[in-house]
Structure 1
């Protein structure tokens, strides 16, 4: 398939994806820096803060399961608009609340939208940029990484100057801006990746692409859509009525590759949520640094993942480097944990943090695999939903387990060993996820046609 310029006929899709990606993280990262400002207006108990901290993975898991059902009824573009509107509405409401219950409810609305957006982004990239998956995933994951750093940097100065309510609500501008490109495409009634929207099958049932032409033996071994064009439409792949989401979801649960992808994404989520919940406390208790230094080390942990957002999508799509990258990330993180266990010295703490921060590579790696391990945008939606729901369920459980283990043992040795064991256990999953096959290939090798 000949790649065309990124912006050619797809400018709205580029803007829509990047603005949505930015909103997925800025909506999450803008709250914690101004918690002290909020507490000066109304009380925030530890229970409320703990509930808010648990909401993201729980909402992501729940709405990850609901998103394919909604997408099938509404279409991926309409559901993206709904997700962005939910994020914007929740952000505005969060800036207007007068008590802690309202803050929790507004935050839940935000995370519901983010949960849908998380699932929809990889399929959107696959649908609109099948010829530029590596480049577009690079832009998308970089936008997410960038929006993780910007809110903590500006939230407090803005809150000091204009109040915490404005500091929280101002991020709604990006979500609302992200709505406009998708509305523009809906108004035009066009699929920017292939031309006017696909025709419908007799009887009103939408005709969706099922399969494409695989280029076996090619250097990139990518699935390339086979164009089927008519006077009024252009779609990809032979025309067939697709199985129901329930049937496809059941099939995914029987494919080892899907569980390997889920384990890879789950490992990434566990490392992130455990670190943001406990890493500063671990640094203070184990090494004896002050709170300010622990906060800087947490920022360093998050920053290490930024370069990987730029490089990994291209390395995976063009050079099939999934297995080496996964091993590098897992073994690097394991080395950082061993350093904290065996040599918890203040002078080496920055090195251990950087090494442990290499686990941040797993997030963009898992996202790009969701896009390239499925043949169509429809199956990518289901795969994204399955993988992210499993991953975020694990992310909701593990921070609590680590806290309970610390409380039971009175130290951090056992929790750190468990974190290291998770990384070791994930390596076989990373090797399976590195197979250059789609989930449809895996199913057809064991059963019948997808």
Structure 2
């Protein structure tokens, strides 16, 4: 007997057919390859920043500002993702995003000037920004009954791409002849591979597209529903939702901690007497912790009615890690690196909550854009402020105190964002 078919609220006309198995597999491959490409543009540059500065004659102030360019681009360009997805389809926008990443990574090492390098970097970051926002949307649309496991897979691939680019860029550069240009450009090949799975999904234009619909059981919906991959328009006023604001601030504070860790943790260890090579390995350990935990945490989160306990557990790990850096940075370096790596897994938790705090695909799109764009704006001053405090105080006491201070509100807003409610209900209740 066939299961009863129910329309989604936005469905019009005949129900679209279920997608073919090959289309679902392509989406999974596309999600994984896209996630692998969402950070190498940043971490590969960090590994060769000194060589890039020397090669382009880049000033120290401009190089310092590079640490704030990624979150700025994520905030500015990410907010455009829902509108683009409504017009062209989420798959087409992600495909274009991967093309932008490929082009930017391929061009920027050979521009020969600082403005050209920054412009090409911005192109790549623009592609990353729209893909950042639309990944939770695609997961919600294609896998509504597996949000936790698919978000975990995506987050794990993102963490793997982040740590791999940091770890192997220098060896790859040496293997390719020692030129920093080739060491940066090689990552365009991985981005180019991520374009391919999305090409068959570019034609997803309307409710009748077989590729653009999903035949899956939605959690709590009872009968099987068709969910279309294109983001439909909505009248949701996201700024009227307290949960949306809590999630945006939580996203911003966890991003602040992550960028401070990536930018400064190795220097903290080096100033404490840890050899430079070991300090780099410690940073890699922190980043690698996200690979297994990014798969586990979202799966656990979707099984809980309230994600607050996970937020608190990650926050306690962060507080313990920062306290260790303050009291005995060298003596317990490996422990602090592991603890901070666990704490940084607030990122996949935030992505999971984006998928859980909205009922519809359109709601997820708006919430994802709002939380990430607002959050990345919040994160911009953090790494710069740590550098200023370090320079003016002559030590790491004040910067670490700042990190500890920011962890407290991160835990508080994370608990609020983890409550079992949806932004659609809150926005409707706030409408006069």
TM-score by length of 2: 0.86
Structure 1 residue aligned with 2:264: 278
Q: Structure 2 unaligned runs (5+)?
A: 5-17
Give the direction of change, closer, same or farther, for the CA distance of 1:345–1:271 in structure 2 (3 Å limit).
closer
Give distance in 1, aligned partners of 2:301 and 2:425. Answer: 19
Counterparts in 2 of 1:35 and 1:191: CA distance versus 1, 3 Å? farther
| Cross-structure match for 1:81 | 95
Query: Where does structure 1 lack aligned partners over 5 or more consecutive residues?
Result: 199-212, 215-221, 229-233
Instruction: Between the two structures, name the one with larger relative contact order (CA 8 Å, sep ≥ 6).
Output: 2
Superposed displacement of residue 168, structure 1: 1.8
Change (3 A) 1:223 1:398: farther
Checking the alignment, whether the CA contact within 8 Å between 2:99 and 2:192 is kept in structure 1 is: yes
The equivalent of 2:287 in structure 1 is 302
Question: Of 49, 52, 73, which residue of structure 2 is paired with 1:59?
Answer: 73
Tell me the residue number matched to 1:25: 39
Match of 2:184 in 1: 168
Say which of 90, 102, 109 aligns to 1:95: 109
Q: Could you give the per-residue CA deviations for residues 237-266 of structure 1, whole angstroms, max 9, x where no partner exists?
A: xxxx8445xxx3xx2112111111112211
Describe how 1:376-395 pairs up with structure 2 within 5 A.
376-395=360-379
**Cross-structure match for 1:253:** 239
Counterpart for residue 397 of structure 1: 381
The 5-angstrom pairing of residues 30-429 of structure 1 reads 30-39=44-53, 41-162=55-176, 163-187=179-203, 195=210, 197=212, 222-224=219-221, 235=227, 242-244=233-235, 248=236, 251-285=237-271, 287-320=272-305, 322-341=307-326, 343-344=327-328, 346-429=330-413
Q: CA RMSD in A?
A: 2.9
- Given that 1:158 and 1:164 are in contact with CA atoms closer than 8 Å, whether structure 2 keeps it comes out as no
Do the aligned residues in 2 keep the contact of 1:138 with 1:312 (CA within 8 Å)? yes
Give the number of equivalent residue pairs: 410
1:279-300 Cα deviation digits (max 9, x unpaired): 2222233x23233332222222
Compared with structure 1, are the counterparts of its residues 37 and 277 closer, same or farther at alpha carbon in structure 2 (3 Å cutoff)?
A: closer
Q: Within 1, Cα distance between the matches of 2:274 and 2:288? A: 20
- The verdict on how the C-alpha distance between 1:14 and 1:36 changes in structure 2, with shifts beyond 3 A counting, is same
TM-score, structure 1 length as denominator? 0.83
CA distance in 2, matches of 1:149, 1:345: 22
